[in-house]
Structure 1
């Protein structure tokens, strides 16, 4: 991981880069997939509709199979916190799986302050978080366009607000879709730990940069975590027919520039 300002960018500074990886990573982690190979032929993961819904559908279509091995987890042993400006993030021990507690606070009155607490399991992920789309302010989108970024952003893949209202004619998928999308980003960003986390993560006015800073601080402190094995078997996706390989949701979609949120 080398950049987090507008999206999660993976790769080596001297080699190939893959941007906007957080939604597909969230889909894999949220659906309980431990082993998967991802093939991509460009510098960005397709944005699809701005959520993880297309990736969830592809995982369900492919199917999930078990492997004869115990699952491994990273168990958080003590609280680790990071503060960046007015953003605060903390990960702490938690008795039951992974929990995300996310709060956003925008000066924009249409978005305002929202909070959401989420205990991760595949059914709740699919129903409550997976369909939440990326969002942004019209003034920021216009600024990114003028700078040559987010050129694929549209009302088809981004929830857009001005100072007075939501601009998407079809409305929101959830009344608090913005904070739910932030939960989606948290799940995808923390998937870069390499193993599922057993802990509770709290984010206040955070984003990709804060998520990765907390994860980096956690992994840097070897007294703060340990690897444990669970009784549940590890899962992976079942091979699919060659005709569907490399195509998410049965279609190829254009990738889009750095994420707005």
Structure 2
């Protein structure tokens, strides 16, 4: 039986780079993606004069902030912000190990979606590595409530997200989107969904040091009249909830391994996603680390429990 892509760890076949601006900092930034060894995970490294070159692992234990985006590292020192779209692309395409060098403190926003990252990774291809991939299998429900919002993990035979949002704005309202995730589905249904915001919030965000690089080129903007002001309109009728799913996928990719289970949320965001992930990983009875095992005679596949890798975030 040949190697199956979903069974084994992967990395990129060669180096690829992207340049853009940070949606919050407004500063230009270039990011380089290079192949990495098996079991190294996703590692970020600042290469500008403001960084010391400290490696920051893309794990929930490294989350340093969840205000308007997910930031890894020390907010007062070496850190990389707005990692969620990039992490969603890496996780959904099945890229386990990669070294990411970045010459600024924020991942470039590109067009506000994950599509530029998908296209960059597709342009160089994915290489299968000789070590088995590990998964986090959800064994029992874990639920977290915060005010009128909630998030939960549930057992499920696959990787599924069920996201619901509820905004007072008539341009958004209440939207629900659910999907079983695989690379083709992600490319087609989620990767192109853009970040969004309200014109009425712009001055407040600017005063707080956020959204300095936001524009109609990288965000869906809702005007004072509750209409989308982008000339091209929406990419999907329910682009808003699809983008919230993209964010959730990126935040949960910081578990360090893919889920076998279902994540559900209502009125969620980066802070709730991170808190729910921490809540799950702090309860060792709620999940199990597994990998595939093939039975040659019947060619059946089962998941078997394994020891966790040394970089595992469930050691938080």
Can you list the C-alpha shifts for 1:46-95, whole angstroms capped at 9, x where unaligned?
00000000000000001001112221101111111111111110011111
Higher relative contact order (CA 8 A, sep 6+): 1
Answer whether contact 1:71 1:231 (CA < 8 A) is retained.
no
Aligned to 1:176: 238
Aligned to 1:109: 170
Answer whether contact 2:136 2:258 (CA < 8 A) is retained.
yes
Q: Map residues 197-216 of structure 1 onto 2, 5 A cutoff.
A: 197-216=259-278
Aligned to 1:118: 179
- The correspondence for 1:164, drawn from 202, 211, 226, is 226
CA distance in 2, matches of 1:156, 1:13: 27
- The correspondence for 1:154, drawn from 210, 215, 232, is 215
- Tell me the CA shift for residue 122 of structure 1: 0.1
Q: Aligned with 1:39: secondary structure?
A: strand
1:129 aligns with 2:190: yes
Answer whether contact 1:6 1:208 (CA < 8 A) is retained.
yes
Go from structure 1 to structure 2 and tell me whether the alpha carbon gap of 1:152 and 1:13 turns closer, same or farther (over 3 Å shift). closer
Between Structure 1 and Structure 2, which shows a larger proportion of strand residues?
Answer: 2
1:142 aligns with 2:206: no
Unpaired runs of 5+ residues, structure 1, are 233-261
Go from structure 1 to structure 2 and tell me whether the alpha carbon gap of 1:98 and 1:214 turns closer, same or farther (over 3 Å shift). same
Q: Spell out structure 1 runs of 4+ moving beyond 3 A.
A: none
Q: Map residues 36-115 of structure 1 onto 2, 5 A cutoff.
A: 36-95=98-157, 97-115=158-176
CA distance in 1, matches of 2:272, 2:226: 28
Task: State the TM-score, normalizing by the size of structure 1.
Answer: 0.86
Task: State the TM-score, normalizing by the size of structure 2.
Answer: 0.71
CA distance in 2, matches of 1:196, 1:37: 18
Unpaired runs of 5+ residues, structure 2, are 1-62, 295-316
Q: How many residues align?
A: 231
CA distance in 1, matches of 2:141, 2:152: 7
Aligned to 1:5: 67
Aligned to 1:246: none
Report the structure number with the largest CA radius of gyration. 2
CA distance in 1, matches of 2:260, 2:203: 40
Answer whether contact 2:65 2:75 (CA < 8 A) is retained.
no
CA distance in 2, matches of 1:84, 1:225: 22
Task: Out of 211-220 and 136-145, give the one that drifted further.
Answer: 136-145
- Tell me the CA shift for residue 191 of structure 1: 0.4
CA distance in 2, matches of 1:231, 1:140: 51
Can you list the C-alpha shifts for 1:199-226, whole angstroms capped at 9, x where unaligned?
1000100000111111000000011111
CA distance in 1, matches of 2:202, 2:273: 23
CA distance in 2, matches of 1:83, 1:190: 17
Aligned to 2:288: 226
Go from structure 1 to structure 2 and tell me whether the alpha carbon gap of 1:229 and 1:112 turns closer, same or farther (over 3 Å shift). same
CA distance in 1, matches of 2:253, 2:187: 17
CA distance in 1, matches of 2:282, 2:75: 21
CA distance in 2, matches of 1:116, 1:84: 21
